Amino acid sequence: MTLASVFAISAMLLILGLFLVIIININMMAESVKQDYNNVQVFLLDETTEEQCIELQNDIRNWDAVDTVEYRTKDQAMEVLKKRWGENAYLLDSIVENPLPNSIIITMTDLTKADEIADKAATLEGVEDVTYYKDTVDKLLRATRMMQIAALVIMAFLIIVSVVVVSNTIKLTVFNRSEEIEIMKYVGATNWFIRGPFMLEGIIIGAFSALLSAGIVTFVYTRVLDVIGTSVTSVLSMPLVPVSFLGLNLMWIFLALGVSIGAWGSIVSMRRFLDT
């Protein structure tokens, strides 16, 4: 039964670890996308002169909720595109004439003003088009929040299951030693003196399961990063959580959960077998 408890808690923490890894990386990707697309791109006509560009930038800087205004030439835009394509950037070298327009990148201090800024920028002279990825960012953030809520519900369910398993394990142990417990009580042992070894057993089970599952999750995540980490980062231009950061924090989180589950499972089981 002790072995069964170890496997049960380890399995719960493994599933929990997978959810944590996925959620953390999704949050990082969402923040990366938000930073990349949380701006208004104002594309200029080819015939827009340099003087007009400077005038447009000075005008936009005076608008409410505008943080920074950056002018990007078509050559700079091509370099940004090549950087995003990573190893596949060589495909862009075959383009004879750069089709990208000059543009002005507007970042905002207040996201609620984004629609207003985009509409106002579209009316300026010399502007060909205005692009803002508000809908994409909002959908991504909504999906992220839904996944976080789902992960929390599953995590809570797994923790409850683990507490029940550990509690039942300790119950069987207490039942098998009921005669010893009665003798200890006859000679004056207090309830907490009797509870101590069983709580320690639950804590050891939880701690061992936590270290085991944290090691497995870290090992699997390392192998996954070795296979696809570089490719994903270069193609999608999105960062992934470093193994060193994830492994250390995962170990402490799992230890806290494992020890808490083991201790609480012991307390729950002992309350039914000892006079309180």
**What count of other Cβ atoms lies within 10 Å of the Cβ of residue 126?**
16
The H-or-E segment that residue 39 falls in is strand 39-44
Q: How confident is the model at residue 276 (pLDDT cuts 50, 70, 90)?
A: very low
Determine how many CB atoms are found less than 10 A away from the CB of residue 195: 20
What's the CA gap between 98 and 146, in Å, rounded? 41
Longest CA–CA separation in the chain, Å: 99
Q: Which residues make beta-bridge pairs with 108?
A: 66
> Which residue carries 């609480």 as its tokens?
264
Residue 237: what pLDDT?
54
Residue 31 near residue 72 (C-beta atoms within 8 A): no
What string of DSSP letters covers 226-239? Answer: IIIIHHHHHHH---
What confidence score (pLDDT) does residue 81 get? 76
- Residue 229: closest CA among 28, 9, 17, 75: 28
Q: For 85-105, give one letter per residue: b (16+ CB within 10 A) or e.
A: eeeeeeeeeeeeeeebbbbbe
Task: Answer whether residue 131 shows pLDDT above 80.
Answer: yes
Q: Where in the chain is the domain with CATH 3.30.70.3040?
A: 39-132
User: 39-132: which CATH topology?
Assistant: Alpha-Beta Plaits (3.30.70)
**68-98: per-residue pLDDT in tens?**
888 888 888 788 777 776 667 766 777 777 7
* pLDDT for residue 243: 78
DSSP string, 6-33: HHHHHHHHHHHHHHHHHHHHHHHHHHHH
Model pTM? 0.59
